[in-house]
Amino acid sequence: MSIAYLGLGSNIDAEKNIASGIRALREAFDKVEISPVYQTPSFGFEGEDFINLAARVETGMGPLQLKQFLNGLEDDHGRSRDVPKYSDRTLDVDILLFDDLYLLSPVLKIPRDEILTAVHVLKPLADLAPGLLHPSARKTIAEIWDAFAGQKTGLQVIEL
C-alpha cells in the first residue's frame, strides 16, 4: 500500500462539493485522514472564497491510476476542464505527495509545486502531516511552513 497526500478545494457550492468529495474518498479508500478545513480567498482571479483541506489516503493504486480516479471524481462533481487555470472550481483534487516519489511526467508532477508556494495547500498539509519529509526540499512539512515566506493571513478554519 502507498500513502498519498491530496489537496482538495472548491468555491462553487463549496461546502456541499467538499463534503461529497470527502465521502467519495472514504468510500474508495479504507483509510482516509483529513486536515482541518480552511476558507481562503480566491487566488489569481476574482471569485468566491475557496474551501481547502488536505487528505491522506492509503491506496493500492499507482500515481497515474490515482490521478485518473481523482479526475473522474472531479468530473462527477461537474468539474469544467476548458477554463483558465485560475478560475472557479466545483471540486479540485490534486496529488500533493505520493510516498517519497519524485515524478515529472507530461500529466503529473509529484511533489506538487504548490506545496512550497501556496498557503492554501501548505497549511492544511502542515496540520495533517507536520513531520512528513518533502522528497525534494528535504525538509519536513512543518519546517517548510515555519519558513514559509508567502502570505500566512487570510486562512480561516471552518466546520463543515
Tens-place pLDDT, residues 36-74 = 999 998 877 888 999 999 999 999 999 999 999 999 999
CB-CB contact of 110 with 97 (8 Å) = yes
- Model pTM score: 0.94
pLDDT of residue 75: 92
pLDDT of residue 86: 74
Residue boundaries of the structural domains of the chain: 2-158
Tens-place pLDDT, residues 3-15 = 999 999 999 999 9
Q: Is the pLDDT of residue 151 over 80?
A: no
Tens-place pLDDT, residues 100-137 = 999 999 999 999 999 999 999 999 999 999 999 999 99
Return all residues near 13 (Cβ < 8 A) that are at least 6 apart: 90
Phi and psi based region of residue 136 (left: phi greater than 0; alpha: psi -120 to 50; beta: remaining): alpha
Assigned superfamily of 2-158: 7,8-Dihydro-6-hydroxymethylpterin-pyrophosphokinase HPPK (3.30.70.560)
pLDDT of residue 55: 98
pLDDT of residue 83: 77
Q: Is the pLDDT of residue 150 over 80?
A: no
